[in-house]
Structure 1
Amino acid sequence: MKRTHTIGLGAVAATAAIALATSTAPAIAAVPTDTSELRAAVSADAIMDHLAQLQAIADANGGTRASGTPGYDASIEYVAGLLEAAGYEVTIQDFLFNSFRELSDPEFDQVSPNPTVYEPNVDFITADYSGSGDVTAPLQAVDLVLPPGPEAGSSTSGCEVEDFADFVDGNIALVQRGTCDFSVKADNAFDAGAVGVIIFNEGQEGRTETLAATLGAEFNDPIPVVGTSFAIGEELAGLAEAGEVVVHLQTETLIELDVPTSNLIAETPTGRDDRVVMAGAHLDSVAEGPGIEDNGTGSATLLEIALQMADLGIEPRNTVRFAWWGAEEAGLVGSQYYVDSLTKRQAKDISLYLNFDMIGSPNFGRFIYDGNGDAFGTSGPNGSASIEGVFEDYFDSQGLASEPTAFDGRSDYDAFISAGIPAGGLFTGAEDVKTEDQVALYGGLATYEGEPVSFDPCYHQACDSMNPIRDGADAGLYEALNDAYGGELEYGGVITNVNTLALEQMADAAAHAILTYAMSTSAVNGTGKASPVAGQHVGERLGSHFRR
């Protein structure tokens, strides 16, 4: 079918092709549906073929598919072309966002007492939306919790203005990850006279690695801000307690305002318009690489599900609307723009939203969003528990273990749950460290050569690619991961950053849930807002980097 005219910047979507539920809309309940034919048709091999195409697009466009770049535009064209040929009603929704990139390699050195040069993207990472600067100054620790508290979020370091009551103007602030947004810590430090900020990870299990922070597109303080590991932060804090520590920070960054990009929406030509089942994944990568796992896997899986539904001639009872979001890595901008652009009338049509962001992690786990909140205390809107149950029941039926993951605002479901839309989805892990217990459930590695191993060792790096060893990953680690999974990381004889076993299992679960809800004839009434924790930062989420 012909592509629908592009929706202009700032325009409110005027067609049923873009619609969203309010807190009063019913969520479709899950009823038994035979999804075996669709699951058999959706294969990891075909999804990997799509990922190879996304890699080729990145290779032809400076190694990235970030929103606002030619690589992203080419990704949109690739997905849209296949969907149009399959008969979907395709709409491109244009919007503007503020982009961020580094113009040169950052620097972080301990000048004294122990001269040390820290390695970029290994020992430290420039915070997204950091300002530029080249400063050398004494380090001053701010309200640290050392040793760290037993639970994540025990530290309020830098969260209150009072934390900086004794801060010396012209120093560099050392703050600890904890309960508040990174931007709050950095802004408070700047207001207190800091000329730079170092944010180190908090220290609990899963919060020790080098911190990839984002400050959000609204941050505009002209100082360098970097994230580092708990070990480096703890060492610097100990040295500062014993005497003066002088450090050097240098960043050169560029924030471009009002950069054009787009979302892609594809809708089945048949199905009830008042019970729309929506499934989404962000199509953009980070600027540092091609984003094959994050989030090529979610994007390619949705594409293959849509294509196979069309090829099988499935006519859903309820309209199915697929979405590929732009500028997720800039702060969930595309999905939030979509939600914000809708009228009340349009907002009555979507019954639920399913999110797929990173579903082929090389050292994977099987995680389901905690819709009922019983694991993390943050529930989705009414109906989200039903979605969680569909995924749990499916994995149980396949003899596969799964675990809940929190609705913590790290992906595109956030705009939906904040608006009271029932939501759920799948995730296979990012920078958190895999435990021995999880290895027993899912295979893989908890450690390699004595060091902990995360679910995705190439998360937000150039090596998130179809050839991570070529692109800078630890060759020994990736060979060990591939061996641990019996060759499941290979495509065309090359080790990739995607685990095809995970991809097959999660794609089948995604196809099962989408078709189950697409064919359902019943509904769950009385949907409402998410719990206060889930919705308290509407419009302020900061993408798949840790928000805090």
Structure 2
Amino acid sequence: MVVTSGLALSSAPASADESLPDLVTAKNIIGHLENLQEIAEHNGGNRADGTPGYDAAADYVIDQLETAGYTPRKHTYEFDRWVEHSTPEFSQTAPEQREFVHEDDFRTMTYSGSGEVAAPGAAVHPDSDASGCAAADFAEFPEGAVAIMRRGTCSFEEKATNAADAGASAAVLFNQGGGSEEETGAFNGTLSNPVGIPVVSTSTAVGEDLAAAGEGLEVRLAVDSEVSTESSYNIIADTDGGRDNNTVVVGAHLDSVPAGPGINDNGSGSAAILETAVQLGTLDEPTNDEPTNQVRFAFWGTEEQGLIGSTEYVEGLSEQERQDIALYLNFDMVGSPNFGRFVYDGRGEMEESMPPPAGSAAIQKLFEDYFAEQDLVSEPTALNGRSDYGAFLEAGIPSGGLFSGADGVKTEEQVGYYGGTAGEPFDPSYHTPDDDIDNINETAVEDLSGGIAYAVQTYADSTLPVNGMLHAQDITFDRQADLWLR
């Protein structure tokens, strides 16, 4: 166990007039982050799922929770882990020779099949957003050719599966085009499930050039990957008291990317909810006659591989267990160096957001009201499937949370709200080796952790504004974490 000198392992009972936001301090949260940093430094520089760094970080969280009086448990699950063993290769060999650059021109899709292919290329309705979405699109597809398809209305898995079923030897999915880099560049995508042929994404320019090459097009494609069945785990801890049929779930992912220690992404969210859990137990019991609610703290695994830990948890719940969850609060990055104060769009007002379950708007309002009372500006951020709330929304569970920003770029107007630097990402070190303890903005941690503690204390007492009425509905997302689904 690693403990810094500035971090107390136990807390004295709170006085009657103290509130949870008073007790959850940036100093203690950063103490947890210093410990996570040291764990990463002694375990290959990261805390990625399936590594000794993740196990050591999990042991640290368990130790802290046990010291605070919880009985944490490991929720284990199996999943298909996709691994790419070497840099992929992609080139055009006819009617002219052209080598494509990995990352800039093309990227391998997660769960792509492995293999080396040299074959003619055949475009499949490349001017349509529905390119490759129907089996009928491949009615005259030449056996063994590489299918060239435009990104669009259906999932990548549907496109690749239709191509494979039609006899394609590989598939190339090019970006749909538009006014932004996200719409035109080579993109990170996932097929969600293993597909038996190599599949890559490309930029709009590369894909349109290939489609325009006509019948003389020939390409070469090599992907070296494999899928293996592995196991991992989340850490779950419940408060002793409170109604277990109206549980408030508070979650953050514990794993980092392999590239670095992940102290902001997402050591910051994990440390914030860990300290909230520790301090929650020091509060005096409520004196009113209304029952309080159980709070469940969840530290998710395998988030960086596609939200696997949280999804496995929700999908493993019985219908009654799902109904017993009053709401879900998600905290994924709360210490970004060039931060914003972002509240998840529970009203579903942003174009990128999916329609959220009833009750999510009340969660958004609680956070907005909290920041307004602190004379702090906040802004909405889309509920678009990029973090662990996704499975909860799909299950019809009201969801919300806070976020300090990742690879989005800060505007001049936002500098007026929060300070910082316009034209730079909220976290320039996102998913890099530089996401270390020096990457943390203490003001962001202080502001957002106050909101976290306020929401937890409020909903531990009453969830009436959130789940007086709950409507389950079908929700599908375009993203799983940083991986596009379509």
What is the aligned counterpart of 1:374 among 336, 339, 349?
349
Matched, 1:415 2:391: yes
CA deviations over 1:453-509 (Å, ceiling 9, x no partner): 5544554x443631xxxxxxxxxxxxxxxxxxxxxxxx4xx4x3x444433322222
Would you say the 8 A contact 1:293–1:464 is kept in 2? no
TM-score with structure 2 setting the length: 0.82
The residue matched to 2:310 in structure 1 has which SS?
helix
The residue matched to 2:235 in structure 1 has which SS?
strand
The residue matched to 1:207 in structure 2 has which SS?
helix
CA deviations over 1:388-429 (Å, ceiling 9, x no partner): 111121222334333333333333222222222221112334
Q: Distance in 1 between matches of 2:17 and 2:334?
A: 20
CA deviations over 1:168-205 (Å, ceiling 9, x no partner): 43333333333322212222222233333333333343
Would you say the 8 A contact 2:174–2:207 is kept in 1? no
Q: Distance in 2 between matches of 1:237 and 1:521?
A: 52
Would you say the 8 A contact 2:340–2:378 is kept in 1? yes
Q: Distance in 2 between matches of 1:62 and 1:187?
A: 37
User: 2:317 matched to which residue of 1?
Assistant: 342
User: 1:27 matched to which residue of 2?
Assistant: none
Q: Distance in 1 between matches of 2:441 and 2:91?
A: 36
Q: Distance in 2 between matches of 1:194 and 1:59?
A: 45
Q: 1:214, CA displacement in angstroms?
A: 1.5
Matched, 1:224 2:198: yes
Q: 1:545, CA displacement in angstroms?
A: 2.0
Would you say the 8 A contact 2:126–2:211 is kept in 1? no
Would you say the 8 A contact 2:335–2:441 is kept in 1? yes
Query: Relative to 1, partners in 2 of residues 1:184 and 1:117: Cα closer, same or farther, differing over 3 Å?
Result: same
Query: Relative to 1, partners in 2 of residues 1:530 and 1:347: Cα closer, same or farther, differing over 3 Å?
Result: closer
Q: Distance in 1 between matches of 2:97 and 2:338?
A: 36
Q: 1:66, CA displacement in angstroms?
A: 3.1
Residue type of the alignment partner of 1:360: G
Q: Distance in 2 between matches of 1:123 and 1:292?
A: 30
CA deviations over 1:228-274 (Å, ceiling 9, x no partner): 4xxx33244135415555443322112111x1211111122233334
CA deviations over 1:8-51 (Å, ceiling 9, x no partner): xxxxxxxxxxxxxxxxxxxxxxxxxx998533443444433433
CA deviations over 1:102-152 (Å, ceiling 9, x no partner): 2222233455636334144x5543222222122334444443459xxxxxx
Q: Distance in 2 between matches of 1:442 and 1:158?
A: 45
User: 2:212 matched to which residue of 1?
Assistant: 241
Q: Distance in 1 between matches of 2:350 and 2:46?
A: 36
User: 1:279 matched to which residue of 2?
Assistant: 250
Q: 1:82, CA displacement in angstroms?
A: 0.8
The residue matched to 1:511 in structure 2 has which SS?
helix
Greater RCO (Cα-Cα under 8 Å, separation 6 or more) = 1
Matched, 1:86 2:68: yes
Q: 1:80, CA displacement in angstroms?
A: 0.6
Give 5+ residue unaligned stretches, structure 1.
1-33, 147-154, 448-452, 467-490
Q: Which residues of 2 match residues 142-291 of structure 1 at below 5 A? A: 142-145=124-127, 155-204=129-178, 205=180, 206-216=182-192, 218-221=193-196, 223-228=197-202, 232-238=203-209, 240-242=211-213, 244=216, 246-257=218-229, 259-291=230-262
Would you say the 8 A contact 1:67–1:284 is kept in 2? yes
User: 1:65 matched to which residue of 2?
Assistant: 47
How many positions carry a matched residue from both structures?
461
Q: Distance in 1 between matches of 2:416 and 2:168?
A: 46
Q: 1:530, CA displacement in angstroms?
A: 4.3
Query: Relative to 1, partners in 2 of residues 1:135 and 1:441: Cα closer, same or farther, differing over 3 Å?
Result: farther
Query: Relative to 1, partners in 2 of residues 1:95 and 1:174: Cα closer, same or farther, differing over 3 Å?
Result: same
Query: Relative to 1, partners in 2 of residues 1:308 and 1:525: Cα closer, same or farther, differing over 3 Å?
Result: closer
User: 1:520 matched to which residue of 2?
Assistant: 462
The residue matched to 1:129 in structure 2 has which SS?
coil
